[in-house]
Amino acid sequence: MDKFQEHLAHYQAHVKEDLEKRVAFIREQIDGPGLGGAVVGISGGIDSAVSAALCVRALGRERVIGVWMPAYSQAIHAEDAQKLADAIGLQLVTVDLGPAFDAIVPEIEKVLPLDDKTKGNTKARLRMTTLYAIANQKGYLVVDTCNRSEIYIGYMTKGGDGLADINPVASLTKHEIRILARELGVPESILTKAPSADLWEGQTDEKEMGFSYEDLDRLLITGETDPEAKKRIDYLHRISEHKRRPMPEV
């Protein structure tokens, strides 16, 4: 067994302890200051599924709101969002962001045209605005769903899914997230689906990144990976440093 697989086997053996640690963290962040609960953006993917499931374990279903925010999203993601809600007892609400997206993009394009990536990032920022409106009204905190792998290469939208109040999964790689997801009872369709931020039709994380999550997680866990993948990973880590640091001031 190589170092990567050995690490994952060790995590699997201790996953129940890690689950309880993360549940305790959520309770400390929410109950400690006397806040009402948590709001989680639900994408139909594994990271938001794990984050929501941890929140339900920590706070109970009545204090967690999952928000599905389609903007011309693929039907499979809506189906998986509902499967998750049914599996973990999540309060799931829908806010259709299609009309808001349709309204704002033409106004911005009066200034300059937007490519698919920029339009996708605009969807992510509309989702952040929605989550904070609900959290503001309820006196809740917004829960981030970005994992360690994504954070390392800046694979999140600044002012979008990269903006929240607490993050219970920030130290977990994508492979560790999958192990924890099984422990939490996340539906199989979510576990096996190709990771996607649902920013445009056919978009997948690995296609956009240019390497696999195994390439990335091997580097984070063992310090070694495919040399070509490492060049790309190092480049993305370097140019995304501004996403991980507080805003520079003078």
pLDDT tens digits, one per residue of 122-167: 999 999 999 999 999 999 999 999 999 999 999 999 999 999 999 9
Annotated binding site: 41-48, 125, 145, 150, 158, 165, 174, 196, 242-243
Helix (H, G, I), strand (E, B) or coil at 137: helix
Mean pLDDT of 92-119: 97
| Average confidence score pLDDT of the chain | 95
| Binding-site residues from annotation for ATP | 41-48, 145, 174, 196
Contact at 8 Å (CB) between 203 and 179? Answer: no
Active-site residue, 47 included = yes
pLDDT digits (tens, 9 = 90+) for 196-228: 766 666 667 888 898 999 999 999 999 999 999
pLDDT score of 94 more than 80: yes
Query: Which pLDDT score is estimated for 206?
Result: 85
Numbered residues of the known binding site for Mg(2+):
47, 150
Task: Please report the sign of the dihedral spanned by the C-alpha atoms of residue 232, residue 170, residue 188, residue 72.
Answer: negative
Q: Give the Cα separation of 108 and 106 in Å (integer).
A: 5
Q: What is the per-residue pLDDT for 205?
A: 81
Measuring CA to CA, which residue among 200, 132, 180, 201 is closest to residue 160?
A: 132
Q: Report the pLDDT averaged over residues 79-107.
A: 98
Q: Which of 80, 144, 150, 215 is catalytic?
A: 150
Three-state DSSP at 141 gives strand
**pLDDT exceeds cutoff 80 at 195:** no
Q: What percent of the chain has pLDDT over 70?
A: 97
Asked if pLDDT for residue 189 goes beyond 80, the answer is yes
| Residues counted in the chain | 250
Tens-place pLDDT, residues 117-130 = 999 999 999 999 99
